[in-house]
Amino acid sequence: MPTEIKVPTLGESVTTATVGKWLKQPGEAVKEDEPVVELETDKVSVEVPAPAAGRLENHAVKEGDEVEVGAVLALLEAGAVGKAAAPAAQAAPAQLTPAPKAEAQAAPPAETDYDVVVIGAGPGGYVCAIRAAQLGFKVACVEKRATLGGTCLNVGCIPSKALLQSSENYHAAGHDFAAHGVLIESVKLDLAKMQARKADIVGANVKGVEFLFKKNGITWLKGHGKVEGTGRLSVDGKPVTARHIIIASGSDSANLPGIEVDEKVIVTSTGALELSEVPKRLVVIGGGVIGLELGSVWHRLGAEVTVVEFLDRLVPGTDNEVAAQFQKLLTKQGFRMKLGHKVTKAEKTKKGVVLSIEPSAGGTVETLEADVVLVAVGRTAASKNMGLEEAGIALDKRGRVEVDAHYATSVPGIYAIGDVIAGPMLAHKAEEEGVALAELLAGQAGHVNYDAIPGVIYTWPEVASVGFTEEQLKDKGVAYKTGKFPFLANGRARALGMTDGFVKVLADKQTDRVLGVHIIGPAAGELIAEATMAIEFGASAEDIGRVCHAHPTLSEAVKEAALGADNRAINI
C-alpha cells in the first residue's frame, strides 16, 4: 500500500502553505528523509522529506497550489525501485554568489556519520547542537578549545561579568556602604582571590555545557574543523560526513594596524581578564561595550582609565540621549575621555607603553603613557583557515559568511549562524539563530525577530536597549511619541541609593505600538526583558502601563515611562 507524503505541522498559527517546487518527479527513486517537495509560507520555506525509501508514484498537487496542514502531497511506493533522477546542479540561495567548485554542489553522501555537525561550541553552536539533538538528529559538535562554551563562556561574557560583579562589590564597600550605615575601616583587595573566583565560575559553566552534551547524546569532536564541501568536513585532518553542516565559529578580537598585541602590556579582552595586578594607568582604545566594561573593572579597582575613541561619542548605535547621559556619568566616576581621536603608534618601553594619538580628522600629535593598553576596537568574524572559500562558500567584504533568510550558505547543506554572519555580535542572538536553524532543519517554523534583540552594557550604570532608537525612527520617517521616567522618582531606586538614569519608551504615534525601549540605570539588563517581550508580541505602550507592577520595584519605572508616552505618568 502506498505511503502518503503529507503537509507537516508548520508552526503555531500556520495552517496553510504554497507548493513552491517539486524536488522529485513521479517514477524517481527517493531515499528515506530525502527532500521531495518545498513548501512556502509567509514565515518560512520548508522541505518535506520522504518518510521511507521507495519510488514516487505521483504528485497530488501542483506547484503554486495552496495546501492545508495534513493534506496529501504525493504517494510513495515504499521499497520500490525507481529511476535515478537526472543530474542537475543545485542553485545557490537567492542573492548569494554561486559556489564555484563543482564538488561543493554534490549531494550529501547516502550514509553519513551524523545528521548534523556544528563547527564551534560557543553559545550559538552548543545551543544549536542541543536543540537539534532534542529534535531527534544525531549530532556532533566540533570544538578545538580544551573546554566547551566558546569565547563567551571561556574568555568573554562570563568571566567579564564575574569580574564586574566582584569589582563593583569592592568599590561599593569602599565608597557606598557608609551611606547605608555600614562602616568599614579598611577595604583591601585580594586580586588573586578575585581571579580565582572568576576561574571557578568559568569552570562551572563550561563543565555544565559538557554535561548537557552527554545528557543529549551529542558527540564532541575535539580538534580544528575544516569544511570540504556538501556533506563533508574534516577534524584535524580526519574525514567526517554529515547531512547538515553548521558553521558557528564565532568571532575574534579586531586588531589595529601597527599595534602588536602581546596580551601582557598591550592586550585584547582576553589579556585584560587575566591581569595579575591593577595597572596604575590603563588606556582603552575603543569606546564600545567591551572596552567600557573592562575599563570599569580596573577603574573600580584603582586604575586611572583613559578612553580613546575614533568617533565623537561612546557606544555608537545606542540612543543618542542615553549615550550622552552615559558619557556624563562615566566622566563623573573619573573616566578620562579622548573622543574624536585615533591611535597612530604604540611604542613599548621599560615602564609600559607610549601611545601617539591625534584627532581623527588629522592634526597635532600628542602622547599618552600607560602601564597597560587595552585594544577594544570591535570583533571580526572567525572565518579564516576553515576551508570556506575553497569549498565555494561566499563571504562578504568583512569576512562574514553570506546566508539567506534560513541561514543557508551558497553551498547546499551548509549553514552558518552567530558572529560569523551579519548582525549584532551577541551571544543571545547566536543562541536564537541556533534554535531557529535546528527547527528549520526539522521541518518546523524556526524564526528570529531581529527587531526584538536586546543589547546590554554591564557597567555602572547599566545600559540596555531593544528595538529602534529615536535617530533610526527619524531616518525612517516614522511618527512616534516618547515617554520617559527618571529613576530619581522611583521609590525602590531611592532605597537602593541608585537613582542615576532613566527609562525611555518610544511608541508609534498612531497605533501606540512599542517601537523601542532604552534604559540607563540600575538593573537595566534585567528590566529590558519586559520591553523585549512587549515588542515581540506587538504590545502597545498602554499595554505595559496597564499591567500591574509590584511596588516598590525598579520595574515600575518601565510602567511609568510607558504611561508617559500618553502623558499619563503618575509619579512625576
State the catalytic residues.
551
How far is C-alpha 331 from the chain's CA centre?
29
Rounded Cα–Cα distance for residues 178 and 529 (Å): 32
Cα separations in angstroms, 556 against 336, 384, 485, 494, 536: 34, 47, 10, 13, 20
Pairing, β 462-467 against β 514-521: antiparallel
Report the distance separating Cα 54 and Cα 26, nearest Å.
11
Q: Judge whether 473 and 530 are in contact, CB under 8 Å.
A: no
Nearest one of 157, 96, 130, 143 to 425, comparing CA atoms: 157
Strands (E), 131-237: 139-143, 219-222, 225-229, 232-235
* Phi, psi at 119, each rounded to 5°: -100, 105
Angle at which helix 524-536 crosses helix 556-564, to 10 degrees, equals: 50
- The grid coordinates listed for 65 are 497550489
Longest dimension (CA), the chain: 87
How far, in whole angstroms, is CA 540 from its chain's centroid? 26
How far is the C-alpha of 131 from the C-alpha of 439, rounded, in Å? 8
Antiparallel, parallel or unpaired: β 54-59 and 29-30: antiparallel
Residue by residue, DSSP assigns 261-301 as --SSSEE-HHHHTS-SS--SEEEEE--SHHHHHHHHHHHHT
Neighbours of 182 (CB within 10 A): 10
Question: Contact 8/48 with Cβ under 8 angstroms?
Answer: yes
Half-sphere exposure of 309 (CA within 13 A, CB side): 21
Asked whether 496 and 487 are in contact (CB, 8 A), the reply is no
Cell of 323: 549615550
Which amino acid makes up residue 365? V
Looking at the chain, the number of H-run helices and the number of E-run strands are: 13, 30
Task: Return the exposure string of 318-347: e unless at least 16 CB atoms fall within 10 Å of the residue's CB, then b.
Answer: bbebbbebbbebbeeeebbbbeebbbeebe
Q: Are strands 281-285 and 502-508 parallel, antiparallel or unpaired?
A: unpaired
Backbone angles phi, psi at 497, to 5 degrees: 75, 30
Identify whether 35 is preceded by a cis peptide bond (ω within 30 of 0): no
